[in-house]
Structure 1
Amino acid sequence: MTNALKVYVRNSTLQRLGQVSEYTSLTVVPRHNAIGAIALELPADSPSAPLLVEGNGLIVKTAGGDTVLTGPIRTVDWTRSAGDGGNGTLKVGAVSDDELLARYACWPVPTAAIGSQTAAVYKINTASTEGGMRDLVNLNAGPGGQASRRHALLALAANGARGSALVRQVNQFDNLLTTLQDIAGAAGLGFRVIQVGSALQFQVFTPTDRSKTARFSFGLGNLTDANYSTVPPTCTRAIVVAGGGTSPRVCKTYDRSDPLFPGLVLEQFVDQTSVDSASVDLAAQMDQAGNEALANGAGQGSLSISPIDLPNLRYGRDYNVGDTVSAQLRGGTWYTDVVREVTLTSTAGESSVKATVGGDTGDGTVARIYQYIARLKKDVGRLTTRKAA
């Protein structure tokens, strides 16, 4: 039987060198707005083994030819024991091309030399969130940046002007990937870097709400197991301070009650002292900083489900990483949230899908699984009170 996923090897200039058709195990983990992973195992004496070296990369496609994940090889491990036949086993690890973004910092003046970085922040004021994200990538790592910093293979997809206007300051030399994650998360957008032809293309997209059509439950017969967990909040009150240097100091607090711990107050200082308090966009910048701190510090919930691919509901066709899906949990309640990552496992003739839903701020406030558990806890409390009475 043939493998469900096809794997190809590329060289450092993204040219395809050949196919790895004899792998014994493949695990592919696409992640929403984060670095994915590929783990490949095959006999060390396979014809394609000489191609699997650091510096080359992997391309994973479905049987139908759709690209699942692409990225550079990072580890190649060889093992052999007394009981092994042949020349042993190769275990190859790769990361998704999104890791390219983690290599770069956000310079306060991206077009200036390092000795001319006199500003403390990089200011964004664009008509769309996507425009601001593209500018960050283009000027720090892409064709619009300094020659010494440009990634020769990086290209940008066309600007779809997704998201509302963006007014924001980026602290000097903040990590590019982390900054994009904060911006995209607040705007409900997705982004990725993936090989398209002979380039690594930075793409911004709007995830799709498929909660009405991508529905998983034991009753529907398309779910084998499910479990959820929670992490408590780290910030419920953001104290934002701007100015104080050459302009008057301005302080403001932003509060957000946690559904599982409604009386808990966790204060966090948010340093915006680099923002001149006389700035016309002071309120917008303080609001942005306060809301991001609350979103990043919110209690988190994560749901892990193992869906079964059926003819009418398949991963990659009917839902993808970043989309919103539904799952039926305890008591028959339907829970909806974003697919944060999917683990695709393929061996000879067999494949499986495991999805992680939620896992961060989800709806921009608190992950919905977290809210669901809060409601469940409240209902149990009411039931206990009635029994006691």
Structure 2
Amino acid sequence: MPFLEPVTVMIRNSSLAVVAVLDDYNSLQVIPRFNAVGAFVVDMPADSAQAQHMIPGNGLIISRGGTVIMSGNIREPNWTKSSSDGGAGKLTVNGVDDMALLAGTTCWPNPTSAPGSQSSDVYKISAVVAETAMRSLVNLNIGPSAQAARKIANLTLASDGGHGSSITKQVNQFDNLLTALQDIAKIDTLGFRVVQVGSNLQFQVYVPQDLSQTAKFTFGLGNLTDAAYSVTYPTCTKAVVVAGGNTSPRVVSVYTRADAAFPGPWIEQFVDKTDVDSASVDLTAQMDQAADEALTAGAVQTSLTMNPIDTPGLQFGVDYTVGDTVTCQVRDDFVSDVVREVQIGYEPGGGYTAKAVIGSSDGTNNADAMAKSMDYIRRIFERLRRVETRKQK
């Protein structure tokens, strides 16, 4: 099936300068992920003129419709050849997007201090909006304000849009930076990514679009080939948060977030905040934050996988992207949720396939997305109960 907006693939060197346009490939797979590390795979002739550039240290910039879908480094060029192959064989090149910079970084408790001066147990975020907190974590650990030995060349930060609610949070010493950013972002369903802009890499925080009324995938519209929907039982409906207990009195608070669609005994989970002194002025805010994260991660998870078809008015990378909320037909109803991942396959002649994963399967849903999913589940359960009642009569 020919796709409407063509994909453009450029090869960059270790200095982020474009050295060639990649157009001699047999297939290209691109997997962008919402607030997570994406990946790409290129299958190409080993004797291509562009093969010389497909080496570790170089990377790709993949765009569609003028929008960069992904940029990232080449990691594994693999060569194969069989007796039936012509030419010099086949080159299969694997890579990851620039979000890998975040996944490979730890959060230092004293990020501006030398390694021998890491005296704190935590890095504390006090009453700042989520985007500002996220930018600060990146900036101080690997960005322009980081120590020289940890600073990543050519990494910049997009301007602060002030998105998100005010948070108070402690990041434990040497926690993974990507994980810390995910925890903060999911509170307000913010998106973030690292992507090449001009000759630099840029850390961006953004608010995904709610396209549930305009980006609709249905069998009747002809833009959906198949879909599958699943629901997973909750793992935490009651968070038992414990603070203090070391050098200060212990404080225990219980937070409940039950759901009528899954009746039955509660599911308790211990949330360890004993690293927080119970005499702290922001004790309540920190315990509330920890409870919200535990209940959100342990809530009912939904997952919708669909194979969309591009149409002139609805194309991935042009009209919607990962992080946006779209609507898909499920049985005789509709589900609206966040696009978490899209597995895209391209061929030079115009072949195009896509498989989108939609829903809260990674635990980053917020209250609005959860309410939408639970509303659908309740409607399904109610229909099943009515069917059972009719059978009994």
TMscore range, shorter length: over 0.9
Q: Residue 106 of structure 1 aligns with which residue?
A: 107
Partners of 1:269 and 1:132 lie apart in 2 by: 26
Asked if structure 2 preserves the Cα contact closer than 8 Å seen for 1:231 and 1:300, the reply is: yes
AA in 2 matched with 1:78:
W
Give the Å deviation of 1:266: 2.3
SS of structure 1 residue aligned to 2:209: coil
**Distance in 1 (alpha carbons) for counterparts of 2:375 and 2:86:** 53
* Residue matched to 1:188: 189
Native 8 Å contact 2:210 2:325 kept in 1: yes
The residue number in structure 1 matching 2:384 is: 380
Q: In structure 2, what is the equivalent of residue 351 of structure 1?
A: 352
Match of 2:334 in 1: 334
Residue type at the aligned position of 1:388? Q
Q: How far does the alpha carbon of each residue in 1:94-135 deviate from its partner, in whole angstroms, 9 at most, with x for none?
A: 101001001111111111122222221111024311000000
TM-score (norm 2): 0.94
Number of aligned residue pairs:
387
Give 1:270 deviation, angstroms: 0.9
2:249 paired with 1:248 = yes
Q: How much has 1:230 moved relative to structure 2?
A: 2.8
* AA partner of residue 103 (structure 2): A
1:30-64 C-alpha deviation (Å, 9 max, x unpaired): 111000111111111111011101111111112x4
SS at match of 2:264: coil
**Structure 1 residues 141 and 259, CA gap change in structure 2 (3 angstroms):** farther
Q: Deviations over 1:55-109 (max 9, x none)?
A: 11111112x4321110001111111112111111111111010010011111111
Q: Is the 8 A contact 1:28 1:39 kept in 2?
A: yes
Distance 1:259 1:23 in 2: 52
* Alpha carbons 2:296, 2:364 under 8 Å: kept: no
Partner of 2:7: 5
Q: 1:315 and 1:172 mapped to 2: Cα distance? A: 39
Tell me if 1:263 matches 2:264: yes
Q: Does 1:299 align with 2:303?
A: no
For the structure 1 residues 85 and 259, does the alpha-carbon distance in structure 2 shift closer, same or farther, using more than 3 Å as the test? farther
Give per-residue Cα distances to partners, 1:349-375, cap 9 Å, x unaligned.
221232111133464147544653454
Residues 258/85 of structure 1: CA separation in 2 closer, same or farther (3 Å cut) = farther
SS of residue paired to 1:45: coil
The 8 Å contact of residues 140 and 149 in structure 1, kept in 2 or not, is answered as yes
**Kept in 1: contact 2:186–2:365 (CA 8 A):** no
Q: Deviations over 1:320-363 (max 9, x none)?
A: 111101111112x1110001111221102221232111133464
Q: CA-atom RMSD, angstroms?
A: 1.8
CA distance, structure 1, for counterparts of residue 90 and residue 232 of structure 2: 39
2:41 pairs, out of 39, 42, 64, with 39
Partner-residue secondary structure (3-state), 1:372 = helix
1:218 matches 2:222? no
Secondary structure of 2:132's match?
helix
In structure 2, the partner of 1:315 is 316
Identity among equivalent pairs (%): 53
Q: For the structure 1 residues 67 and 141, does the alpha-carbon distance in structure 2 shift closer, same or farther, using more than 3 Å as the test?
A: same
Matched, 1:145 2:149: no
Task: Write the letter of the residue equivalent to 1:54.
Answer: P
The alpha-carbon deviation at position 293 of structure 1 amounts to 0.7
Instruction: Give the unaligned 5+ runs of structure 1.
Output: none
Equivalence for 1:229: 230
- 2:391 aligned partner, one-letter code: K
Amino acid at match of 1:84: D
Output the amino acid matched with 2:141. N
Contact map agreement 1:303 1:369 (CA 8 A) in 2: no
| Counterpart code for 1:100 | L
Task: Note if contact 1:61-1:68 (Cα within 8 Å) is conserved in structure 2.
Answer: yes
- Who is 1:49 aligned against? 51
Contact 1:167–1:284 under 8 Å retained in 2: yes
Task: Write the distance in 1 (CA, Å) between the matches of 2:118 and 2:7.
Answer: 47
Query: Unaligned 5+ residue runs, structure 2?
Result: none
Q: Secondary structure at the match of 1:78?
A: strand
Shift of 1:381: 2.4
* Letter in structure 1 aligned against 2:27: S
After TM superposition, the score normalised by the length of structure 1 is: 0.95
